[in-house]
Structure 1
Amino acid sequence: MNQIFTVEGMTCGHCEKAVTQALLAVDSQAKITIDRLHNTVQVESEKPRDALAQAIAEEGYRVTV
């Protein structure tokens, strides 16, 4: 399932790495695409949306959608 999140606060490569690692901890098979310019994180995963959003939030980023 392809899921798109709007994430506030990602400003650098370190931010992308932190979000990617958090998502992979929830689903090691997830395919992740991050677009900092548009503040979006696209995740192809069968895991529940809430679990993925929580992983991002636990890294300190605000998930708005």
Structure 2
Amino acid sequence: MNQIFSVQGMTCGHCEKAVTTAIRTLDPQAEVRIDRAQNRVEVQTEQPREAVAEAIREEGYTVAA
């Protein structure tokens, strides 16, 4: 299932890696694409949307509703 999130606070490559790692900890098979300029994170996963959003929030980023 393709999920798209608007994520605020990603400013560098380290941020991208932190978000990717958080999502892949939840689902090691997840495909993650990040467009930092657009504050966009696209995730291909079977995990519930809220679980993915919470994993991103736990890294300190804001996920828009």
Work out whether 1:47 is the aligned partner of 2:47.
Answer: yes
TM-score (normalised: structure 1): 0.98
Partners of 1:7 and 1:16 lie apart in 2 by 11
Work out whether 1:2 is the aligned partner of 2:2.
Answer: yes
| Secondary structure in 1 matching 2:3 | strand
5+ long unaligned stretches in structure 1: none
Counterpart of 1:17?
A: 17
| Secondary structure in 2 matching 1:60 | coil
| Secondary structure in 2 matching 1:10 | coil
Partners of 1:14 and 1:6 lie apart in 2 by 18
1:64 CA drift (Å) = 0.4
Which letter maps to 1:22?
A: A
Alignment length, in residue pairs? 65
Identity of aligned residues (%): 62
5+ long unaligned stretches in structure 2: none
1:30 CA drift (Å) = 0.2
